[in-house]
Amino acid sequence: MILKLSRPNPAVLAALEDLGCRARVLTFPFGTFVVALGLDPSALAAFQAMDGVAWARTAGSRPILAAREQCPEGTRVPLGAIEVGGETLSLMAGPCSVEDREQILTTARYVAAYGANALRGGAYKPRTSPYAFQGLGQAGVELLREAGDAAELPVVTEVMEPGDVAAMTPFVDCFQIGARNMSCAPLLRAVGRSGRPVLLKRGPSATLAEFVLAAEYILLEGNAQVILCERGIRTFETATRNTLDLNAIPVLKSMTHLPVVVDPSHGTGLREAVIPMARAAVAAGADGIVVEVHPDPSRAKSDGDQSLHLPEFRRLVEELRPVAAAMGRRLDLPDALPFGGTQIPLIRRAMGWGGSR
Amino acid sequence: MILKLSRPNPAVLAALEDLGCRARVLTFPFGTFVVALGLDPSALAAFQAMDGVAWARTAGSRPILAAREQCPEGTRVPLGAIEVGGETLSLMAGPCSVEDREQILTTARYVAAYGANALRGGAYKPRTSPYAFQGLGQAGVELLREAGDAAELPVVTEVMEPGDVAAMTPFVDCFQIGARNMSCAPLLRAVGRSGRPVLLKRGPSATLAEFVLAAEYILLEGNAQVILCERGIRTFETATRNTLDLNAIPVLKSMTHLPVVVDPSHGTGLREAVIPMARAAVAAGADGIVVEVHPDPSRAKSDGDQSLHLPEFRRLVEELRPVAAAMGRRLDLPDALPFGGTQIPLIRRAMGWGGSR
Amino acid sequence: MILKLSRPNPAVLAALEDLGCRARVLTFPFGTFVVALGLDPSALAAFQAMDGVAWARTAGSRPILAAREQCPEGTRVPLGAIEVGGETLSLMAGPCSVEDREQILTTARYVAAYGANALRGGAYKPRTSPYAFQGLGQAGVELLREAGDAAELPVVTEVMEPGDVAAMTPFVDCFQIGARNMSCAPLLRAVGRSGRPVLLKRGPSATLAEFVLAAEYILLEGNAQVILCERGIRTFETATRNTLDLNAIPVLKSMTHLPVVVDPSHGTGLREAVIPMARAAVAAGADGIVVEVHPDPSRAKSDGDQSLHLPEFRRLVEELRPVAAAMGRRLDLPDALPFGGTQIPLIRRAMGWGGSR
Amino acid sequence: MILKLSRPNPAVLAALEDLGCRARVLTFPFGTFVVALGLDPSALAAFQAMDGVAWARTAGSRPILAAREQCPEGTRVPLGAIEVGGETLSLMAGPCSVEDREQILTTARYVAAYGANALRGGAYKPRTSPYAFQGLGQAGVELLREAGDAAELPVVTEVMEPGDVAAMTPFVDCFQIGARNMSCAPLLRAVGRSGRPVLLKRGPSATLAEFVLAAEYILLEGNAQVILCERGIRTFETATRNTLDLNAIPVLKSMTHLPVVVDPSHGTGLREAVIPMARAAVAAGADGIVVEVHPDPSRAKSDGDQSLHLPEFRRLVEELRPVAAAMGRRLDLPDALPFGGTQIPLIRRAMGWGGSR
């Protein structure tokens, strides 16, 4: 059972305690809730009638706290200088993996100069093959922090197991839950309790309903600073690494009040498709873009094929600007950007062949 | 074997005839080609060396005529007042099915007034259930023609079997091949020979490589007026009817010179998601939008849930305009459109629930 | 509206005629039905009450004639010496394409000697690429007939367009509707009217409900001799050409009374996986197996990778026999089969690599 | 770099140490290997030439230790009275969740009496909704142990986070990695180090190549007691909860030496389909079956729709016996089983409707 309080009433908690129920009170900008799981549904009516109780609901298979109706105006998640979900577009950029100090510092300074408002980079890397680069671990987290500080950007990085949350928390502005771990309840609970914002990536075979339910795990720990990230789903199509599902944007916006950003790097797997799909995401109503950028993608230890070169990031921002304006969104950029230089060709490789079976 | 001619040389055809090969000459705006299938590959070198032969290639598993390299500047397909693939955005609008004279005339006049440049409507309807409305058939084709004439719009309608092409041709400006028939070779050949432009919809489980190969069937009949239409693929997601795959736009643009339009109605199945996804499609670089519009979607005989009400079509155009401008595309609209009236709420139904398994 | 008659009553048809409804009477082994589409549902009650009417139902989105409840004991489709759906397992074998007289005769005689009870082979070939071998057409149909006669086997071949049905009918014992055409209504109606049994293959992205609705189109033409064929669906998995969905067998058996056979050749795309999956299909309750066999798969003009060598067909039968016995099914074999000869190795190629993205 | 040793040679490890490489020696029944990751590939040749080195290989994107060629005869994993992968079929049965002492004891005794050779049951439950039953946790692990002891069956249960492995190890005979966690590297490493056999379930959107790579993570910790479990993949089909991919059996058998079992409960989601698909799995060559059984599925706290009633488990064994015999496999059963009693109807619910979109 979940109750929404319209005003504090200690009798509510006392009544729950009398029933032997260990209730928790969650306070969000959009209201105060009491979570009392395991209670017999027959108790509902009595609580519903209590003073200070706006409503009481039986928990079922749908999200309650993350549902749009709890916060029709939409949640904004503060991250560095902006609020994700606010008027300014969120632009999280950086390499797939933190590889060394120079790589991450160079990238951080470049993307900060051209409009990024958060720095992303992986230190703990979930890899399909145990022989692939597994990331620098905690050392990588600390390098990322250093680069974020140098470029004055908040940092976002993935956490892969609950046991790592405590050591990472002092260095991290926003925890990322990777697509493979979207439905890993212990991890969702751990980042929920961290007090940090969470960038939650959609699992490659998760429905949108399941995606919002994963966010609900985090909210149930009292943390509503959850940013949902569409990053492509796995389908039969092999021309692209994943199928970026932009339908997710309007549908999620109707399901939940949480902000929605899009990762066109994983969503396509093709550098040449990243900028068009970033534009499309903004036009569909996304609150921001998460994008992989690397000083030398050909030498990247992971995901080089989908990482933008540094000047391509500048071009991305250049191309996003008019689309953002059309959508009434802002991109906060330094005044004197040297835009309009050399034209960067978008399509350099033939994409898509090899895909008939 | 396919040869590209740099200039006419009767000796080429004579040599093919000597080899017992029934060659066909295809003339496109982007070149003249000789198609000589069934020839032994060893003959290639001799033809390659002939005067007037730009190149000769063995036909394999990839498209030749539809490949981007044949026409790097992109093909434009004339349709009514515009060229699909040109600067003006293609806007094909109309009901899923032609139901009666009033319905199609009302819709035609409305969408024409608000910027549509083609009228779409189904007369032969491919339906999953034999008990569902199967369309008005040839009578529907003729009603569509009448409505197109009244609104001064070219008409697009689906053909389902080769045997119907002849009777439909006098009434139709552009044949549609539906998603279920994308790989139906006899039908592709028949519309290829019709001389009419073809709107080819991607099959719900077709890879992009297979999609372009289907177009190649049409080009091989000498018809390069093919418009590719992304309309959503079938995936595990159940919140939307299909998963609109906008990755298809940049990838197809690198694979083929044919114009690419997007159908957000079938691609989402949800009226509320149509406008955001139409904006996204244009931002991703689509050459146009195909959209279902109905005077009273709640009474539509097919696809009511995804059909826009008439005023929503106006709103679609209103919202597309700034995104098109950001992309350097035009929407040709009457001067005195009464835009900016009552705000039409976008999200009226909760979308997406019921999708966890 | 569909009515089931318990006994003839001319008044029923007369009443329908009075209402201006062009009703059709369909007679099946499992009952006589009147199909009266387009009638107002309010008429139902009156007909329900008429003498000789067992029940009357409004047609909706579910099959009526193909539904299990119409024939709980299951339909048997006579084909050559056996009934598909009966005690003897159906074994349809032959090359993907009819290529020449020797190839089809050799194959026909071999598979007949080792237990096949139908000969399959493609003459009209649906191919992804227009440059791939498109089949011998009507000449191939006639060669197949000749081989079937020589080997005393009924023949099964695919028809791709309604206009070909008439010319093919005299030569064909069973029409195949290929996977790509599963939902092509004009074709379904045409084979329905042919009076021949129909092997209906499941579309690569068709749900089971849609599959049975496709069969309903055929039954509505008065033809209940429909054999459903599971042949693999398209999924994200790339180790196999398709994902053979054997769940389809028990589910279809609960949905419909039509017999169900399985094609492990297309369902796997891998010769080495054909025999294990054929065994699995029989153990799951399939009524038969459709399998590709070729005298020299390495030179096959289509689908060589998934075609069994002739001795592998013998091995298939050898391995199916005990599983069929475990299921209470028979394989009718000549008495003096030279079984137990050289062991044929099953796995000769490494399968499955290259499938991580 | 991975080296296989043909005989011990301390110089190999010394040479690696000289290169600053922290090598690990892994000893399996099928050979002794040295894992030396991070080494420059140029060092390979020198090691290849050393005495006692059978071969040296650069680690790439394919499994090495789990590859079939390392152990062509196949790995057998001892579990209780049998070896999974041996002649006797593995039959792991039990409820989805351990709910209370009586439920798990009743089930354990019943399935043991009718031929199960391992008891499965969830204590830590990964659930889509945070409001769904999350399992009894460590208390559930201990109840499962008690029931396993009472019924003389080894126990298999899921572990969800690395931090739980230590506390669970004393109570558990085999750790299960659930489908959602298949690619969770920290968890794979943790169970790898536990020394216990591991039942590794295929992720719902994992390719077979990715599945074997997940197993490689476990082997790299020195633990080759890995049992692979096919449990259905997520596809567009909605008639079944998942699509059980039995193609996986022959393909995995050619890729890896690890035993393969099948879970038809999750693979179908439909109680009525469990027995046919279990038969099919055995006929396809599976080494065993994992199946959900509950004393009262209608009151199960999770997965009731797919759980067998107790007598249905008896029927499962009864129906598996002849198929196992046809495959040359054994089911070890008590002598005096009261088989052949009341016929249990298989299909009681109509399955599959609702699946057209």
Q: What is the pLDDT of residues B178-222, one digit of tens each?
A: 999 999 999 999 999 999 999 999 999 999 999 999 999 999 999
Residue B344's pLDDT is: 44
Residues of C in contact with D212 (CB under 8 A): 352
Judge whether A91 and A115 are in contact, CB under 8 Å: yes
Average of per-residue pLDDT across B295-324: 95
Residue B110's pLDDT is: 97
Q: Which ipTM was obtained for this model? A: 0.94
Overall size of chain A counted in residues: 357
Residue C92's pLDDT is: 98
Judge whether B233 and B181 are in contact, CB under 8 Å: no
Average of per-residue pLDDT across D223-248: 98
**Better pLDDT: B58 or A172:** A172
* Confidence class for position B334, pLDDT limits 50, 70, 90: low
Angle at C208 between CA C168 and CA B238, to 5 degrees: 130
| CB proximity A162 to D under 8 Å | yes
Mind listing the pLDDT tens digit for each residue in D122-150?
A: 999 999 999 999 999 999 999 999 999 99
* Confidence class for position C37, pLDDT limits 50, 70, 90: confident
| Facing B350 at nearest CB: one of A245, A255, A281 | A255
| Facing A244 at nearest CB: one of B207, B239, B246 | B246
Mind listing the pLDDT tens digit for each residue in D48-78?
A: 999 999 999 998 889 999 999 999 999 999 9
Mind listing the pLDDT tens digit for each residue in C80-135?
A: 999 999 999 999 999 999 999 999 999 999 999 999 999 999 999 999 999 999 99
Which tokens go with A26? 């969650």
Put simply, the answer to whether A235 touches C238 (Cβ < 8 Å) is no
* Confidence class for position B167, pLDDT limits 50, 70, 90: very high
Residue D61's pLDDT is: 86
Residue B265's pLDDT is: 98
Mean pLDDT of the residues in chain A: 93
- Can you list the positions of beta strands (E) in chain D? 2-5, 24-28, 31-35, 53-57, 77-79, 82-84, 90-94, 118-120, 155-158, 174-177, 198-201, 226-230, 260-262, 288-292
Residue A345's pLDDT is: 45
Do the bridges between strand C2-5 and strand C31-35 make them parallel or antiparallel, or are there none, so unpaired? antiparallel
| CB proximity A89 to B under 8 Å | no
| CB proximity B353 to D under 8 Å | no
Residue D22's pLDDT is: 85
Residue D206's pLDDT is: 98
User: Looking at B15-29, C146-160, C325-339, D165-179, which range is the least confident one?
Assistant: C325-339
In the DSSP assignment, the letter for residue C192 is H
Mind listing the pLDDT tens digit for each residue in A153-182?
A: 999 999 999 999 999 999 999 999 999 999
DSSP string, A318-344: HHHHHHHHHTT-B----TT--TT-SPP
Q: Which one of C180, C189, C218, C226 makes the best mutation probe of the B interface by having the most chain B beta carbons within 10 Å?
A: C180
pLDDT at D344 over 50: no
Residue B81's pLDDT is: 95
Mean pLDDT of the residues in chain D: 93
Put simply, the answer to whether B356 touches D238 (Cβ < 8 Å) is no
Which residue, among B78, B91, B84, has the nearest Cα to B291 in the 3D structure? B91
Q: What 3-state class would DSSP assign to B77?
A: strand
Residue D348's pLDDT is: 46
Put simply, the answer to whether D243 touches C240 (Cβ < 8 Å) is no
Residues of C in contact with A236 (CB under 8 A): 234-236
Mean pLDDT of the residues in chain C: 93
* Confidence class for position D169, pLDDT limits 50, 70, 90: very high
Q: Looking at chain C, which subunits does it touch, using at least 3 CB pairs closer than 8 Å as the criterion?
A: A, B, D
DSSP string, A106-119: HHHHHHHHTT-SEE
> pTM above 0.90?
yes
| CB proximity D132 to A under 8 Å | yes
Q: Looking at chain B, which subunits does it touch, using at least 3 CB pairs closer than 8 Å as the criterion?
A: A, C, D
Q: Which one of A24, A33, A99, A131 makes the best mutation probe of the D interface by having the most chain D beta carbons within 10 Å?
A: A131
Average of per-residue pLDDT across D336-356: 50
pLDDT at A292 over 70: yes
Q: Is C243 exposed, middle or buried (0-12, 13-18, 19+ CB in 10 A)?
A: buried
Residue C347's pLDDT is: 44
**Better pLDDT: B357 or D346:** B357
Q: How far apart are CA A103 and CA A98, in angstroms?
A: 7
Residue B31's pLDDT is: 97
Q: What 3-state class would DSSP assign to C302?
A: coil
Residues 41-70 of A with CB under 8 A from D: 59-62
Mean pLDDT of the residues in chain B: 93
* Confidence class for position B336, pLDDT limits 50, 70, 90: low
